[in-house]
């Protein structure tokens, strides 16, 4: 009842770091659970992370999910939302759980800056070429906390084997610091209620 993460970014632009930490901790827990079940989501993006007014986040749209044989399995099919695909997927290579981490990293950068990280590249093919040939998107260290910058950089390593697992990222300094802030610091539920309450009042 609070739309998707994409709706939230479209509504207010860049999200506070506490909001990002809270949402991404829950998303990482979901991706870790998928890996435990040997599942690759293959379509992680802001529109597929759903929010509710209780401050809960759910990863949605499992229409592209692939089941692997084990924790070391690989996929080979080309499905999902192309602009959020990892370099190895765009290249037509086999891929695995690390491809979801790349998509998560793009989603995080989008939440932090308020727009899709490759928006400056023209058209579908321009984005694909940028993913393959340009440096990975990164956050400006003069504007964002060092641990948030590092979290994004970890997710957006070009080589899939260099990306941490969801479980490892749950231990990252950014998630430890902002993933579960005390109520006096930040609470996602009131934040969402205030954001969407204001919008609904204007439409009455």
pLDDT tens-digit series, residues 141-154? 999 999 999 999 99
Question: Taking the CA atoms of the chain, what radius of gyration do you get in angstroms?
Answer: 17
- Give the pLDDT confidence score for residue 203 in this predicted structure: 44
Structure letter (DSSP) for residue 16:
P
pLDDT at 88 over 90: yes
- Give the pLDDT confidence score for residue 58 in this predicted structure: 94
pLDDT at 202 over 50: no
The token pair at 180 is 């579960």
pLDDT digits (tens, 9 = 90+) for 92-118: 998 899 999 999 999 999 999 999 999
Structure letter (DSSP) for residue 39:
E
Q: What is the C-alpha separation between 98 and 74, in angstroms, rounded?
A: 10
Q: Which residues contact 129 (CB under 8 A, 6 or more apart)?
A: 121
1 is catalytic: no
- Inter-residue contact 94 to 74 (CB < 8 Å): yes
CA 76, 81, 86, 88 dihedral sign is positive
Mean pLDDT of 151-167: 98
Q: What is the C-alpha separation between 151 and 17, in angstroms, rounded?
A: 12
- Inter-residue contact 67 to 88 (CB < 8 Å): no
CA 188 to chain centre: 17
Catalytic residue among 1, 7, 32, 43: 43
- Give the pLDDT confidence score for residue 197 in this predicted structure: 83
What percentage of the chain reaches a pLDDT higher than 90? 72
Q: Which domains does the chain have, with CATH numbers?
A: 5-199 (1.10.510.10)
Mean pLDDT of 179-204: 75
pLDDT at 68 over 70: no
Q: What is the C-alpha separation between 120 and 135, in angstroms, rounded?
A: 14
Q: Where residue 53 falls among pLDDT bands split at 50, 70, 90?
A: very high
- Give the pLDDT confidence score for residue 73 in this predicted structure: 46
């Amino acid at each position: 009842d609070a739309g998707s993460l994409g709706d939230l970014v479209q509504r207010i632009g860049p999200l506070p770091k506490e909001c990002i930490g809270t949402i991404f901790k829950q998303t990482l827990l979901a991706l870790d659970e998928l890996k435990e079940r040997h599942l690759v989501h293959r379509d992680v993006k802001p529109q597929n992370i759903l929010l509710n007014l209780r401050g809960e986040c759910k990863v949605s749209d499992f229409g592209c999910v692939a089941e692997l044989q084990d924790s070391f399995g690989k996929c080979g099919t080309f499905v999902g939302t192309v602009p959020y695909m990892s370099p190895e997927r765009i290249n037509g290579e086999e891929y695995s759980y690390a491809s979801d981490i790349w998509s998560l990293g793009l989603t995080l950068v989008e939440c932090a800056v308020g727009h899709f990280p490759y928006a400056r590249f023209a058209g579908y093919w321009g984005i694909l070429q940028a993913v393959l040939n340009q440096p990975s998107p990164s956050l400006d260290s003069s504007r964002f906390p060092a641990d948030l910058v590092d979290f994004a950089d970890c997710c957006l390593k070009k080589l899939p084997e260099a990306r941490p697992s969801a479980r490892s990222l749950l231990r990252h300094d950014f998630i430890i610091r902002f993933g579960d802030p005390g109520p006096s610091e930040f609470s996602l539920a009131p934040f969402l209620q205030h954001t969407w309450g204001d919008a609904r009042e204007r439409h009455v």
